[in-house]
Chain A
Amino acid sequence: MSDTLKETPLHGWHTEHQAIMAPFAGWEMPIRYSQISEEHCAVREAIGLFDVSHMGELWLRGEGALALANRLFTNDVSKGLPDSETSVGRALYGAVLNEDGGILDDVIAYPHSPESVLFCVNASNVTKIREWFSKHVVAPVELVDASGSTGQIAVQGPNAPALLGRIFGAEIQEMKPMRFRAVEFDGAACILATTGYTGERGAEVFVPWGTARSLWEALMDKGSDLGVQPVGLGARDTLRLEKGFCLYGNELNESRTPLEAGLSWTVKFDKGGFLGDGVLLKQRENGVQSKLVAIQMEERGIPRTGYSIHTSEGNGTITSGTFSPLLKQAIAMGYVPSGVNIGDEIQVEIHGKLRSARVAKLPFV
């Protein structure tokens, strides 16, 4: 099986550093280098480096790219075009929907110009989204899949801006969250976006495949006094769950809409229509039947994906759950009937027993 798994440009570095590797979305990826809780806390207190080169990069290019991007995506891409003076653009989080309003993927769009929009898509959905986009692409717009030539490194944590400043120049530290701009490393054109999946400050850097390893090593080297360490997908999951960020395949799938998933803030109905908006408009008018909530246990036990939730309004299902390394407590997300509210007492069935829990506010930390 391992010979069919894809390898990122940092694969060699991971194995040289004794990472525990595992298959993830067709890639062999680092799960952890030390222990998950230690890596988790490094990101909350200092800096973590993540190899996220498995993520997909799809470009829409040519005249009309921006308008097409807006048809294929729930957020308003026109709001992100780079400022003419600073060349800093806005990264926009949102969803790509099917005609029924179901989520095909949650993605970030980076509108470089009206003729050039980059979408960062989940590794597990690259093929699906590429095929979906190509069904809708009409000349002169063209679709370019740069996933195989674009590496990606996430630099996350309170000390991340300082480290990024050392590598890319001090002005990087002034960038607000959810912005992007062109940068250079070692002569290679990169894109630095102040985005991430941890809730901490920092950036995700798109870097050419062949330059990814030297950038990673420079970040490790120049960040050693700032407490930098490599972080695997294990802690990436606990970090995102503490902040209540959705994971495609868990909270999001083709039978869920952004309104059910609590992502209505990423849906812009007033921008002139997009694929799947009909169902969403009806949901906005009539309300949703179920919704995603945060859950904190009051009894012992860790809720896990697929466990059932019992509420006075009806049953639901846990989508993600873990033991929070920071809170030292079990936390989870799940879908419940829409009549359930924050603070409500509910129960989760864990190992055959119903156990008390409460609907919590996000983020957990």
Chain B
Amino acid sequence: MVIRDDYRYTKDHEWVSLDADVACVGITDYAQEQLGEVVYVELPTVGTSLSEGESFGVVESTKSVSDLYAPMAGEVVEVNSLLIDAPENINTDPYGDGWMIKMRVESGADALLSAVDYAALTT
């Protein structure tokens, strides 16, 4: 299982990659392993305003349905629409092609976990 040092994390097994005030969000390698094959994803539209902890979509495997939660407050500025037809990218490349949304962060980045703290959550 891979945990990238340069990313930050949430207790809900999502990762965040911050570039100035834009955060790229996906689910972790641990999360995709737990889910098994992802067969379906639902993502918000660009312009959606999210509060911290608000559900912004769902990720489904054959057997399970999991909500996705906004790791921070902000506005959705980009959505990985390729996932609609290729949800398996979440399994094969969770930290790369499996990214889900980019959001312009308004607040909440301070509460994110470091890679070390997140690793402790998954053991």
Q: Hey, which bits of chain A sit against chain B, CB under 8 A?
A: 31-32, 35-37, 234, 237-238, 300-302, 304, 322-323, 325, 330, 351
Contact = CB atoms under 8 A, between A and B. Distances in A.
Contact of B60 (A32, A234, A302, A325): A302
Interface residues on B, range: 10 to 19
Interface in B79-108: 84
Interface of B: 36-37, 39-40, 42, 58, 60-63, 65, 84
B40 A234 contact: no
23 contacts: A31-B63, A32-B36, A35-B37, A36-B36, A37-B62, A234-B36, A234-B63, A238-B62, A300-B40, A300-B42, A300-B84, A301-B40, A302-B39, A302-B40, A302-B60, A302-B65, A322-B63, A323-B39, A323-B40, A323-B62, A330-B40, A351-B42, A351-B58
A234 B84 CA distance: 23
From A31, A37, A323, A330, name the one whose CB has the most chain B CB atoms within 10 angstroms.
A323
Nearest to A235: B62
A238 B62 CA distance: 8
B34 to A, nearest CB: 10
A27 B91 CA distance: 29
A235 to B, nearest CB: 8
Nearest to A35: B37
Given A302-B39, A302-B40, A351-B42, A322 B65 contact: no
Given A238-B62, A302-B39, A302-B60, 14 more contacts: A31-B63, A32-B36, A35-B37, A36-B36, A36-B63, A234-B63, A300-B40, A300-B84, A301-B42, A302-B40, A304-B65, A323-B39, A323-B40, A351-B42
Contacts of B37: 35-37
A238 B39 CA distance: 13
Contacts of A302: 39-40, 60, 65
B11 to A, nearest CB: 22
Contacts of A322: 62-63
Nearest to A31: B63
Contacts of A237: 63
